[in-house]
């Protein structure tokens, strides 16, 4: 499948398909969006929010969460805010999220089934990784979004003038509900 992507890419560049996407690294809407990597949101979320190339900084991971206060999500947001002009942050969870049901016990079982040795699991745990925290899901998407918003709002490095708000998007209709 990657071969097909590469072939498509060669044609895209030859046909100058990029011309419609020209913009800068600075987000025109001065917004950063933290959301889930869910396949259904790839095009639906930007379309439903009227977001075009160049409008926002988009940060995605499984669940659209901050799993570590000094991990890559907060790093990306701070770079967007301090260096690239982001003034508002939208944390957008979604309905029917595949991350909700995950847990460390189940994922470790699946890792073992995929050939990852138990000794590696033990070593990582010994090195201080809290699997139960790192690989946890969530009970409701609203709670997950509110928790992430709280972490960001109370983060010691977050400038206080940054607006941070939580939302849930419907993966079928694209309807965005604000949380507060
Ligand atoms: Zn999701």
Phi, psi of 167 (to 5 degrees): -145, 160
Cα(141)–Cα(5) distance, rounded to whole angstroms?
33
Q: Can you say whether residue 42 is alpha, beta or left, with left for phi > 0 and alpha for psi between -120 and 50 degrees?
A: alpha
- The CA 17 to ligand 1 mean position distance, Å, reads 30
pLDDT for residue 180:
79
Cα 26 to middle of ligand 1, angstroms: 27
CA–centroid distance, residue 57 to ligand 1 (Å): 18
Tell how far the Cα of 118 is from the centroid of ligand 1, in angstroms.
28
Give pLDDT < 50 ranges for the chain: none
Q: What is the pLDDT of residue 64?
A: 96
Q: Residue 176 contacts by C-beta under 8 Å, 6 or more apart in sequence? A: 48, 49, 92, 167, 168, 169, 170
Residue 40 · residue 57 · CB < 8 Å: no
CA–centroid distance, residue 43 to ligand 1 (Å) = 14
């Amino acid at each position: 499948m990657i071969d097909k992507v590469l072939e498509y890419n060669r044609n895209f560049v030859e046909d100058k398909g990029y011309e419609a996407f020209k913009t800068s690294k600075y987000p025109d809407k001065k917004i950063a969006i933290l959301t889930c990597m869910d396949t259904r949101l790839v095009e639906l979320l930007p379309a439903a929010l009227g977001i075009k190339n160049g409008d926002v900084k988009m940060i995605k991971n499984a669940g659209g969460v901050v799993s570590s206060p000094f991990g890559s999500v907060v790093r990306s947001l701070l770079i967007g805010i301090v260096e690239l002009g982001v003034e508002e942050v939208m944390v957008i969870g979604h309905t029917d999220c595949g991350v909700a049901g995950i847990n460390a016990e189940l994922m470790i079982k699946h890792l073992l089934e995929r050939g990852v040795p138990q000794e590696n699991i033990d070593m990582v745990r010994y090195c201080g990784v809290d699997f139960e925290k790192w690989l946890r899901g969530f009970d409701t998407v609203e709670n997950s979004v509110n928790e992430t918003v709280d972490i960001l709002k109370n983060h010691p490095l977050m400038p206080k003038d940054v607006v941070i708000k939580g939302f849930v998007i419907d993966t079928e209709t694209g309807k965005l509900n604000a949380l507060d």
